[in-house]
């Protein structure tokens, strides 16, 4: 097969792969070098790396700048002070009236929790004195939100950081987190004679031991790739320095003519899309007659510190496309990208389109952003100060550790992922049963120094891809060059890729776009198999040339449909195909793509 692109493609198996040049013409400078800025000194970097161990990777300078911006502007806003004092007096009066009525009965609450706040749902919180305790906490929480927002002159980013930090501190002192102020814990302690606290102490000790030893959480050992998860039959047909390519065995007598290539995120292991047999997207596609290929990313080590975004493109998406084309020749390919893998797929699709490479038949993006100006609360950890600090930590290690990445995601949902779990496990002494999604979530990967720095600076901080400044092989990449039909899925409660951010692809893609908004979050909304209770989704198609519709107007005009979005997507893929044919062979030994070993391969087991 002729190579349709100039980047050197990874050879299969053990053939050495030539290195990409480190500084392509017009490319963004590396994290430690620039034409007109001095590189940081080793002493500075060592100091920042040492401090990072104490601050969990958070830049003290970034937090201080945000606090000073807020404090200085608040200090010179007497009108805001007066309004806050008025609110404090009014809330105090409301609380006093409520507490008085609560002594005599069960009055209507004076403030309701936010819709996503389930901490006070139990009926025990409606009895004295716990009703007054939790109502006072909610009033205080609301006042602090007013105090940290709406101050003229504060930058939006600093306002978000201060408001987020205040919320984290309040969540720490929530009455739910203490034995004396949590009626559910008090009831359990009285009923069990304190045995719940003894079990909780044992759970805490076990978690500490596991974390210190680098082991997975309790119960995760029951979910082993190749046995209980990632168990769809297949073979590894390509292995290079960065990826294994899995080809899944056919499950039907004939298959769709166009193969499917899935590009998962490399922040976690690939098998989020091949969990248990009942909720495996891969198994569902194979059962519908698709020939599916899946990229499994290698877990990088310190030796991979200089792998960059171009390497992930070359060794990942482009190498996989070449392999699929060799195994299923003369067929275009249906491509799928999830999260960060979707962003990389969009880069690849745009770059191939610029070179008139027509191998891609369709592009499906699952919770994947191409514009990063409204990238949710993850942007709280992305500014020049924070990235400079983070780069120094990664420079010392050669990568971003799994716990550093997981810690950032846990902070975004601290109520659900930190405090509610702590109360359940350590105060109530009840282990929440491990499930496949939780076990996968604990199976994190590292991020190479260069790649993660380039990704955060070029995409998150500068938004180079959406604004046309991103370059591959020295050539600009334009999303408007993508002409293939697109199926774009966003989730309603996504804290990583907010749905309105994902929706922005409608602003640049010069193609037919079917946009789907499904219930659930970043992971659970995608793993939404048919039969999953309580699921719904909205779907509408925008043809090339149609006028743009704002996301709020789109949601208002698109009624929800009950059920999973998977069947709608499978029907869309079939409609974009050219019919059914006999299944292709497994691999192509004549092209150096002989099946190497059974799925899930080796890379998924790397720690």
Burial per residue of 195-225, b for 16 or more beta-carbon CB atoms within 10 angstroms, e otherwise: ebbebbeebeeebeeeeeeeebbeebeebeb
3-state secondary structure of 598: strand
Q: Kindly list the distances between the CA atom of residue 583 and the CA atoms of 38, 320, 327, 588, in Å, as whole numbers in the listed order.
A: 57, 19, 11, 13
Q: Which helix (H) or strand (E) holds 361?
A: strand 360-366
Residues 6+ apart with CB under 8 A from 260: 285, 290, 291, 292, 293, 333, 334, 335, 336, 573
Least Cα distance to 285 among 341, 232, 214 occurs for 232
85, 110, 339, 486: which one is catalytic?
A: 339
Sequence-ordered strand ranges (E) for 443-591:
447-448, 471-472, 475-476, 486-491, 513-518, 536-542, 561-562, 580-581
Q: Return d(Cα 205, Cα 213) in angstroms, integer.
A: 12
DSSP helix, strand, coil percent of the chain (3-state; round to 5): 45, 15, 40
Strands 536-542 and 513-518: antiparallel
Least Cα distance to 539 among 469, 471, 488 occurs for 488
DSSP 178-225: SGGG-HHHHHHHHHHTTHHHHHHHHHHHHHHHHHHHTPPPTTGGG--B
Query: Is 339 an active-site residue?
Result: yes
How many CB atoms neighbour CB 168 within 10 A?
12
The stretches of 545-592 forming alpha helices (DSSP H) are 551-557, 566-575
Least Cα distance to 238 among 588, 584, 2, 585 occurs for 588
Q: Kindly list the distances between the CA atom of residue 470 and the CA atoms of 161, 347, 351, 502, in Å, as whole numbers in the listed order.
A: 28, 9, 10, 18
The answer to whether the CB of 240 falls within 8 A of the CB of 319 is: yes
Structure tokens at 215: 């082991």
DSSP 257-292: SS-EEEE--SSB-GGGGS-SGGG-HHHHHHHTT--E
3-state secondary structure of 584: coil
Q: Return d(Cα 96, Cα 101) in angstroms, integer.
A: 9
Enumerate the active-site residues.
Answer: 339
């Amino acid at each position: 097969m002729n190579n349709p692109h100039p980047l050197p493609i990874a050879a299969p198996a053990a053939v050495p792969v030539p290195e990409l040049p480190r500084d392509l013409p017009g490319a963004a400078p590396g994290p430690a070098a620039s034409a007109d800025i001095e590189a940081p000194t080793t002493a500075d970097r060592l100091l920042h790396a040492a401090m990072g161990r104490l601050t969990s990777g958070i830049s003290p300078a970034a937090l201080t700048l945000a606090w000073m911006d807020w404090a200085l502007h608040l200090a010179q806003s007497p009108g805001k002070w007066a309004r806050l004092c008025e609110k404090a007096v009014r809330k105090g009066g409301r609380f006093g009236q409520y507490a008085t009525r609560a002594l005599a009965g069960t009055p209507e609450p004076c403030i309701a929790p936010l819709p996503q706040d389930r901490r006070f749902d139990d009926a025990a919180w409606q009895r004295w004195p716990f009703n007054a305790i939790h109502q006072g906490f909610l009033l205080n929480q609301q006042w602090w939100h007013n105090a940290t927002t709406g101050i003229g002159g504060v930058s939006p980013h600093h306002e978000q950081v201060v408001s987020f930090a205040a919320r984290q501190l309040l969540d720490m002192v929530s009455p739910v987190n203490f034995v004396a102020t949590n009626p559910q814990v008090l009831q359990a302690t009285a009923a069990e004679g304190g045995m719940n606290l003894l079990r909780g102490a044992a759970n805490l000790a076990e978690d500490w031991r596991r974390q210190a030893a680098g082991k997975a959480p309790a119960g995760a050992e029951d979910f082993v790739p190749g046995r209980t998860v990632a168990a769809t039959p297949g073979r590894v047909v390509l292995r290079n320095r960065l990826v294994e390519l899995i080809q899944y065995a056919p499950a039907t007598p004939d298959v769709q003519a166009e193969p499917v290539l899935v590009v998962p995120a490399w922040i976690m292991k690939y098998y989020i899309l091949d969990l248990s047999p009942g909720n495996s997207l891969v198994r569902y596609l194979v059962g519908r007659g698709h020939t599916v290929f899946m990229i499994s990313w290698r877990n990088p080590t310190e030796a991979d510190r200089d792998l960059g975004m171009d390497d992930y493109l070359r060794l990942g998406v482009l190498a996989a496309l070449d392999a699929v084309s060799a195994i299923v020749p003369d067929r275009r390919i249906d491509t799928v990208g999830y999260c960060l893998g979707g962003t990389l797929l969009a880069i690849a699709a745009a770059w191939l389109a610029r070179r008139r490479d027509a191998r891609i038949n369709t592009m499906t993006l699952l919770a994947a952003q191409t514009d990063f100006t409204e990238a949710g609360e993850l942007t709280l950890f992305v500014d020049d100060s924070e990235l400079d600090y983070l780069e120094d930590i990664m420079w010392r290690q050669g990568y971003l550790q799994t716990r550093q990445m997981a810690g950032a995601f846990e902070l975004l949902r601290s109520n659900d992922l930190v405090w509610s779990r702590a109360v359940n496990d350590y105060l109530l002494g009840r282990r929440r049963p491990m499930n496949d999604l939780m076990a996968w979530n604990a199976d994190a990967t590292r991020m190479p120094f260069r790649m993660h720095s380039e990704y955060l600076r070029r995409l998150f901080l500068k938004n180079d891809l959406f604004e046309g400044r991103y370059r591959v092989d020295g050539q600009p990449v334009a999303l408007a060059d993508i002409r293939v039909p697109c199926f774009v899925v966003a989730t309603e409660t996504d804290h990583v890729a907010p749905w309105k951010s994902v929706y922005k692809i409608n602003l640049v893609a010069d193609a037919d776009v079917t946009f789907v908004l499904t219930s659930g979050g970043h992971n659970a909304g995608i793993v939404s198999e048919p039969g999953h209770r309580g699921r719904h989704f909205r779907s509408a198609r925008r043809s090339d040339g149609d006028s743009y519709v704002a996301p709020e107007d789109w949601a208002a005009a698109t009624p929800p449909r009950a059920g999973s979005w998977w069947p709608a997507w499978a029907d869309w893929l079939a409609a974009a195909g050219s019919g059914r044919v006999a299944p292709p062979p497994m691999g192509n030994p004549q092209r150096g793509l002989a099946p190497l070993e059974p799925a899930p391969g080796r890379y998924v087991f790397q720690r």
